Structure 1
């Protein structure tokens, strides 16, 4: 089940890839290509190239390649369907799905997203212009937020009335409730979910608003925070506030900062650290970890420096091991939260993140900083508790480094701590370590430095006559195709690439076909598609035929060494030699090219019937091979 193939093709063909990529990369036109700095790796020279005609991109620095769909997937970290849907929306294409129920579900999701978008804009305009939002605007200013901040994050105000949003939007009751905007009261009237609150829209990773986090005004009655209820488009256990804004910097820095409050996220951005996200009224979950792992390898927990925040930090230890993440914990001076520190001392906020402790160090310090070390008994008890935490780390070398720290702080001989097991407190959700793999088992990795079987592949060919011919074929297919044949592409990579281009109707299909047979061939086509040809077609074709004819002549010479009738082969070699010499002369090139192509393409090439013998037996065989020459008879 999924989007119909025809619609995916329509999205690819209907998308302006230059416009899509230009939203993220500054592109400059160079001939028929567009070039710029690659968004997938750090560089100073523009190695990122876009072919607007073929609708493909390729980076000569890191090898990133693809079409508009793959670009959106990589840059915005969307799955395939989400990327196609986003591009379809921009291109005005209505998508169809292979399953009718799925199609109806998508239509409903689209309606609910539209409903939340309307609500977001209505709440936002109320905050900006409504007299009853004056106190809310003053509160936000007191938190260090400017008008630009309010507009950038589309912060809103939910007025005190019971049904002001419902009356303003006049949505169908089912959509109003399903979108989490309100409920139907006992008198069967739609009633707003949020009243008298500053609202922070929660965006999904694509940037669509899907719900709200509401903060009551200081001094007002009621719960301090209120979040949208879970809905078909909003799940607080797998969403993170600010991820749509922060994901680019998270990927660039390979680090994500996790906060507790929405204003903390905004504070980090204002302080020049725009890679913070926050949970939506829930503790950090395993789904959050899985989501963040797709963006970065390092997480910094920047919870408020109170007991609840620190206790929440400890729960992630098992997930750190499970998802192979480096987790650190930041501490903030004076016990202030990140939003307050961003307002009072932005530089200190950046320093706190830079100085974040590794997760194990944070846990160890919590144990030892709270321990009494005034007697031998207390020091031993503290060391045992600390070592129970240390021994959970999977690296023996890391464990030993922390063992030395525990020994020093507790004034115990390190040898007393080595080789012992300490009772570790249970970690909620932790899994048992997998049993060691047996030597020689199927899933055993190859020796260090040797690629795994899945990664063993041919190298991408360097520039050659064959790759230049493929480049010309991609850029000028109709003019070049009649002059090429598979026999001109002797290596498997270029031969596969050539067959794929000839056998398909579009370059995208050719790339898919090539990758299925030889992945490097698909990569080669991706690269050549963004390299505008610089050589003359006639010169390239002549070199290609010259090389193929030379290889054929070398094979014939080897065959003549063992043939019973070397003179017959010698005539063919002589004919080939003459044609090759003619191929290298401008006046005779075209005739020689035609004759050599016909000869090379023939399934059983032989000397033309009317061609005279050109060589005697002495010119067929090397002089030193007298034994073979004597066997011919003189």
Structure 2
């Protein structure tokens, strides 16, 4: 389906790009832009920038760039039209009727989201007011949940009726089933998926309901928890319960606490551990770690250490290395879960989280604690068992330090244990960085992104361009920097720059393309589209400039740009005089007049009339050369 340009523009305008990106990585304000770690590549130093006003993003590390539509395409793996549909649904923008196309694609995302939102409201109201929800309200009060907690977390009650929700929503079968709200039974009637359960809405990081979880009341038959099935909106391995509430605290404290259940998250957050989240009926997966690593680099597992490595301890260690995070374990009292401890002793819960230790250390201590270390036989067996755990770690340096610690605990010589460790199967080893190789990923040119390249007066060159002859025609670094700052002003303060910039001032061909697109377009998005048609490098540079703030005054920038352009033209004039002796005197006189005018640029402020005269001279020379 072809979506009109004006509709696409409205979707862009009504989409909060900071909120959209903020669901994938933590962003903080820096001047007029927002910065954070790039969601598209691993990094420790934030190099990802968002211009909220223009609705554009750019990464100085991997050079990913675009707008809200391209971000959705990259993160959700959909095509352009589907990305627009998803954003339109969130922004409340009506798209042209596409019912003819929906047969092969199933119900529209907007319809699924609307059904879930209405379902959450139905269940929540039933819990607050329904006579049949009395036992549920009593149960929640016994857990310490008052009305404020119920409302904050939008808790609900699913009546023990087979179609209470279906009758309330009255949506088509494909929407009811696609949203994970229930199924169509043998009689062809919609039947609710949750019955007689306390309902916990599962939200995406932006706060939009995408699934439901239900818990039976104590003593009731059936499995304790039941979640919505996976579908178009809900993927367990990509979802963390509570992240929409926790992400602000996660960023502030630099850590995230991972629990196992909905009540654990609520209990932790009520006890002051506001950075708590939970997996949704599945073990911790790498997709979870990948998402969390964009918000914090310390991951605290707040459940039994033996469960901490459900996916395999060696795999957790590898995730630490791949995603550059530190995984620790909060050790709770025997038999306690976070929800119970939060209610009985919130201070103990906070202390356990604050004192969380590395997963390997906890596992080694537990293994050693299972043996009688008073006897030689017990110490030998304990050392052997502990080395099996140590061998799972992929880093030889970490292994050796734990080997020494095991030897000390077991009163053995480390040299006796090293041959034993060497014979054990190793954990998920990967080739680490070679000596002298950077640990922090950088840009394609091997330099780590610092989040602010190319500023006026800095030492960094213009962005990498094509190799070969075109590369050799690029402007020297000083001229390129002046051109970049001028273009930043043209992007961010067009009213101040006005018509003071001319293509003749730019030696870099990509920068000239950028200026041409800006002069020809009505707005920044149109300029990017025009540049994309003629020079993708210019479009990429425009997206980058959109997230960089000008750092110099307009008069200073224009004067500097004119100065370097005139100096370049004077060198060409001198070369022309050498090639044409018969015109040497004439050209020398012209050069002297230009140098005299150029000196007026050194005044503070620079002579505006001199600037305009030199631009006119440069433009005239360009026409002669053409």
The two structures have a TM-score, normalised by structure 1, of 0.74
Kindly tell me: are residues 266 and 83 of structure 1, through their superposed partners in 2, closer, same or farther at Cα, counting changes over 3 Å? farther
Following superposition, the deviation at residue 199 of structure 1 comes to 1.1
Give the match for residue 472 of structure 2.
none
1:470 corresponds to 2:487: yes
Cα distance in 2, alignment partners of residues 449 and 291 from structure 1: 20
Higher relative contact order (CA 8 A, sep 6+): 2
Kindly tell me: are residues 448 and 341 of structure 1, through their superposed partners in 2, closer, same or farther at Cα, counting changes over 3 Å? closer
Cα distance in 2, alignment partners of residues 387 and 311 from structure 1: 20
Q: Which runs of 5+ in 1 are unaligned?
A: 28-33, 42-47, 438-442, 606-634
* Structure 1 segment 537-616 matched on structure 2, within 5 A: 541=558, 544-557=561-574, 563=578, 566=581, 568-582=583-597, 584=600, 589=610, 592-593=613-614, 595-604=616-625
Give the match for residue 454 of structure 1.
444
Asked if structure 1 preserves the Cα contact closer than 8 Å seen for 2:106 and 2:174, the reply is no
Following superposition, the deviation at residue 414 of structure 1 comes to 0.9
Give the match for residue 69 of structure 1.
68
Following superposition, the deviation at residue 158 of structure 1 comes to 1.5
3-state SS of 1:284 partner = coil
Give the match for residue 535 of structure 1.
554
1:319 corresponds to 2:339: no
Query: What per-residue deviation string (whole Å, max 9, x for no partner) do you get for residues 101-157 of structure 1?
Result: 678636444333322222211110011112222221121122122212211211001
1:489 corresponds to 2:488: no
Cα distance in 2, alignment partners of residues 365 and 589 from structure 1: 78
Kindly tell me: are residues 454 and 545 of structure 1, through their superposed partners in 2, closer, same or farther at Cα, counting changes over 3 Å? closer
Kindly tell me: are residues 8 and 446 of structure 1, through their superposed partners in 2, closer, same or farther at Cα, counting changes over 3 Å? farther
3-state SS of 1:157 partner = strand
Kindly tell me: are residues 245 and 63 of structure 1, through their superposed partners in 2, closer, same or farther at Cα, counting changes over 3 Å? farther
Cα distance in 1, alignment partners of residues 348 and 72 from structure 2: 35
* Count of residue correspondences: 572
Cα distance in 1, alignment partners of residues 234 and 488 from structure 2: 47
* Structure 1 segment 8-407 matched on structure 2, within 5 A: 8-15=8-15, 38=34, 40=36, 52=53, 54-55=54-55, 69=68, 85=85, 87-95=87-95, 105=105, 107-185=107-185, 187-251=187-251, 253-303=253-303, 305=304, 310-311=306-307, 313-323=309-319, 324=322, 325-333=325-333, 335-407=335-407
Query: What per-residue deviation string (whole Å, max 9, x for no partner) do you get for residues 39-69 of structure 1?
Result: 638xxxxxx99674x5558999x99997762
Cα distance in 2, alignment partners of residues 263 and 587 from structure 1: 68
Following superposition, the deviation at residue 203 of structure 1 comes to 2.0
3-state SS of 1:602 partner = helix
Cα distance in 1, alignment partners of residues 68 and 517 from structure 2: 21
Match of 1:525 among 524, 542, 545: 545
Instruction: Compare 176-185 and 330-339 and name the one that shifted more.
Output: 176-185
Asked if structure 2 preserves the Cα contact closer than 8 Å seen for 1:496 and 1:517, the reply is no
Following superposition, the deviation at residue 345 of structure 1 comes to 3.0
When the two chains are superposed, the root-mean-square deviation of aligned CA atoms in Å is 4.8
Cα distance in 1, alignment partners of residues 18 and 227 from structure 2: 39
Cα distance in 1, alignment partners of residues 372 and 498 from structure 2: 83
Cα distance in 2, alignment partners of residues 597 and 335 from structure 1: 81
Kindly tell me: are residues 339 and 37 of structure 1, through their superposed partners in 2, closer, same or farther at Cα, counting changes over 3 Å? farther
Kindly tell me: are residues 489 and 558 of structure 1, through their superposed partners in 2, closer, same or farther at Cα, counting changes over 3 Å? same
3-state SS of 1:405 partner = helix
* Structure 1 segment 620-631 matched on structure 2, within 5 A: none
Q: Which runs of 5+ in 2 are unaligned?
A: 38-48, 458-480, 602-606
Following superposition, the deviation at residue 393 of structure 1 comes to 1.8
Cα distance in 2, alignment partners of residues 356 and 270 from structure 1: 19
Following superposition, the deviation at residue 160 of structure 1 comes to 2.5
Following superposition, the deviation at residue 91 of structure 1 comes to 4.1
